[in-house]
Structure formats: C-alpha cells, structure tokens
Amino acid sequence: MKQLLFLPLALSGCLATFGQNEITVNADDAKQIISKQIYGHFAEHLGRCVYGGFYVGENSKIPNTAGVRNDVVAALKKLKIANLRWPGGCFADTYHWKDGIGPKDKRPSMVNTWWGGVTENNSFGTHDFLNMCELIGTEPYLAGNVGSGTVQELSDWVQYVNFAGESPMSNLRKQNGRDKPWNVKYWGVGNEAWGCGGNMRPDYYADIYRKYSTFMTGWSEGNIFRIASGANSSDYNWTEVLMKNIPGNMVSGLALHHYSVIDWNRKGPSTTFSEDQYFTTMQRALFMDSLIIKHSAIMDKYDPRKRIALVVDEWGGWYDVEPGSNPGFLYQQNTMRDAMIAGVTLNIFHNHSDRVRMANLAQTINVLQAVLLTNEEKMILTPTYHVMEMYNVHQDAKLLPITIKTKDYTLGNKKLPAVSCSASRDSLGVTHISLVNIDAKNGQDITLNLKGGKYAAVTGRILASGKIEDHNTFENPDKVKPATFNGAVLKGTTLTVKLPACSVVVLELK
C-alpha cells in the first residue's frame, strides 16, 4: 500500500510518461507577505451548510458545544481557517439580524427565498455565529444587508457587536448574554449588488456604498475593514466605476466573485465527468490569474500604493447537484478535480498577494466546493480540505517570487499549462514550495533552481489518487488523503521532482 501512495510510477490510471519543466525560486527576494486571510471560508444559510453542517442544536445526540458540532470545530481548527464569511451570499441581502438574537423560541421565522424555499427559524444568529468563530479560532466576516435592509439596520449591527460602552445596541447585546463586544473587523457592504443583491448598476451601487459606509464607523476599538461588493468575474467596468467613485478612505477591500463552471446552463456532474469536462473546469480555474491581473491593473490606476485589497470572497467549483438532492441546496461531491482547483487557485492567490489579501472558498460544509461533508453523526474530509491543510504552511509567510517554464496539458487541439507553483519562507526560515500537476494522464519532471537559497534537506507530502474522479465517501472516508512524498531530490541549489499526474505536492526545505 505504501508504494501505491508514495511512488509516482505505481499510481494506477495515470501514465508513467514524464515531461521536463523548469522553475526558478528566488529565495533571496522575499518581500511581500502571503496574508493568512487568503485562507478564508464561506458559511451561508444555504442547504445543509449551517443547519446540519455547523449547527445541530444543543439537544442533538451529536457531540456539540452550544449546538455547534465538535468534530467540525476540531477539523476547522486543524485547517487553520483564517476568517469565516456569514450569513451569505444572496441570503445576506434578505437577512435582518435582529430576527436572530434573543430567546430562540421567540425569534421570528422567514422563508429562504433564494435557496430552496425552506423555512428559516433563525435559531442560528449573531451570537451563535460569533461565539462559534471564537471556538474555531477564526475571524468573523459579516455580510451586511444592503439589498433589502436599511442604513440604520447595518449601523445598529456594527454597534451591537463592536461597542463596549453604553448605548441602546450594546445594552441589548448585554441583555442577550454577551457583556464584552466581539470587535468584528471584516464587514461586507452588501453582496453581489449587480445581481441578487439588488440588480444595481455600478454608479448607483457606488453611491449606495458611500452612504452605508459613512454610518459604519465609530463603534469599534480598531478600524473596521469595509469590503465593497465587487465585480462578477470579468466585469472590469464594475471595478473601474467603483474605484473611480468611492474615495479610498471609505473602502478597505473590493470583492471579486468567480466560479469554475463549465457552463451555467449545463454544469455537468461532480463525479462522473469526462476528461473534456475536467479540462474546461481547469481552464475556468486558471482564468483566475487573468482576472486578478486585469482587475488589479484597474485598481492600480486609482490606488498605486495597493492600500485597497482585492477580496476574492467567493471562488470554487460549481457542478450539478447530487442526484436526488434538493436543487436549491447545491450539494455536490468533491473529487481530485476539486483538489486541482484548490491547488492552482491558492498558488495564483499567493503569487498575487500584493493585491489579493483575502479570499473565501465557497462553501465550508455540504455546499459547492466544501471542505467538509456531513451525514447525521458522520463527517468526512474532502480532497479540497486536504489541499488547504497542506497549504496552510504558507499563511503569513513571505512570498518567494518564481519564474516557471511548464509543459502543456493537451487534450485534442486544446492546451493548458500543466504545472502550477508558489513558494514562501516562514518566520522560522523554513521554505515551502507548492506544486500542482493538472495533467490527468502524464507525470512531470521538474527542475527547480533555488536561487540564493542554502538547504540541507527536503521533505514533502502529496495528495494523489488513481483517478481524477476519486473522492471520499461516508463508506470510504480515507480513499483520498495526504501521504509522504519521496519524489524530490536535493543536490546543492538544484531540486528535482517527479510530480505524478493529477497531484498536489507541498515540499519543505530546511
């Protein structure tokens, strides 16, 4: 079994052919920090993400703390999720936060019109979420209701969670059992204002943002980080209009949403996809690099000092729901294809960390590209979870710039770069290099030139499997999991790596 896990040539379903690639790691040029906030996640009131995912209630037989699953807390602690976005998504612009505070039996219900038409009883609200973030050890990121809410409502929410002194909202918080404020830093001013958040035009939203943002200050010990509802994928005009019309002192981050979708009308299955469908998904994932470059160039015109962060607060793969499941719940399986999406996307974020300083995978549990799947008392870790756990060594480390020459992954007359890479050095001086080979058939020989680096040893971990469709199930939860990687050889300042097909590797050099 160890040979199947560790040795590249023994991976069934992947050919043993290797091609040559060259990467230069500039180990003597560490400058910018890879913000740990890139490793954020997203929890929307959608399907079984919150209810049955994070939250099962205090009376559940599933071990919990104040209704929050203990196994979920432990898994997310290990993952080191940096921030958690809530309550949406589209749901945020229908959510009125005062419905989710106070005694649970007195909270009013609502209908979740966006996601399945189910009744929301508001048993999981502000206190539940913020206390859960403390359990996990993550920063909360609250998405404010701009679409159907009011300026007063959002201003009151900021005061309720952040103000330590005497005020109507802080007194209400204390009445509801929380004396000290949570001091929430990250705030979204609406969500997808161009779509489900109100179908606004950019000029109109820019003015709305200015209005709401004006009344969101003054209630916290520190400055809050206000995030504007940014562009839908390649809508560069939206970014241009917002950067032109919103003063830099009123905004800390500009959002960007992009999903790796084959076709919005024909998304395709999550596990029985063809190689052609896989190729198109990876094409969409790699498009993130072009999006960041072009949106960043627009932002640079108005913000050359890069004070405003590009916040990719929704990203990931999106497929058809699992057969027999509620189409409004967006429940999908998670395969090695999703591991490839996660690996290349995080590498892209790292290499653009001068501008991308926050991101949120959609979504944490049971929805879209989830890191966890639950079924009653059972919980499994997905391939995406394993990639993000392997990669968390890059959090708050210094980026090491790279140059890369990669062979192509070809399918018919189509081609994509096969190898993706990023590198960093942490506070202890340890260097980590992340490598992804998206080629579904061919392994890759890689030569890495470690410019300016002096290392004595290399170790590594790999996530790979026999087929790109492989995934974990509740019956076989460990089919896909990380293993020791022995395919790297260090000689002086040269590192040679045999990277199997459809694999993710993280190397550690000391």
What one-character-per-residue DSSP string does 381-441 give?
E-HHHHHHHHHGGGTTPEE--EEEE--EEEETTEEEE-EEEEEEE-TTS-EEEEEEE--SS
The DSSP element (H or E) to which 136 belongs, if any, is: helix 126-136
The DSSP element (H or E) to which 447 belongs, if any, is: strand 442-451
CA angle 306, 307, 313 (to 5 degrees): 90
Q: Are 359 and 40 in contact (CB under 8 A)?
A: yes
Q: Which residues contact 165 (CB under 8 A, 6 or more apart)?
A: none
Integer Cα distance of 331 and 319 in angstroms? 9
Catalytic (active site) residue 153: no
Integer Cα distance of 416 and 271 in angstroms? 22
| Helix 151-162 / helix 168-175 crossing angle, nearest 10 deg | 60
Rg value, the chain, Cα: 23
Instruction: Tell me the torsion sign for CA atoms 47, 49, 53, 56.
Output: negative
Q: What's the DSSP call for residue 321?
A: P
Catalytic (active site) residue 192: yes
Structure-block tokens of residue 4? 């199947």
- Residue owning tokens 């499994």: 380
Neighbours of 324 (CB within 10 A): 6
Structure-block tokens of residue 95? 């959510």
Q: Are 98 and 125 in contact (CB under 8 A)?
A: no
Catalytic residue among 44, 120, 139, 192: 192
Integer Cα distance of 243 and 227 in angstroms? 12
Q: ω into residue 89 within 30 of 0, thus cis?
A: yes
Q: Are 440 and 408 in contact (CB under 8 A)?
A: no
Catalytic residue among 120, 314, 389, 469: 314
| CA dist 487 → 159, 226, 367, 496, 499 (Å) | 54, 45, 35, 8, 7
- Residue 208 has phi, psi (to 5 degrees) of -60, -45
| Helix 336-351 / helix 383-391 crossing angle, nearest 10 deg | 30
What one-character-per-residue DSSP string does 140-197 give?
EEEEE--SSS-HHHHHHHHHHHH--SS-HHHHHHHHTT--S-----EEEE-S-TTTTT
- Strand partners of residue 18: 443
The beta-strand segments (E) located in 238-386 are: 253-260, 309-317, 356-362, 372-375, 378-381
Report, as residue numbers or ranges, the catalytic residues. 192, 314
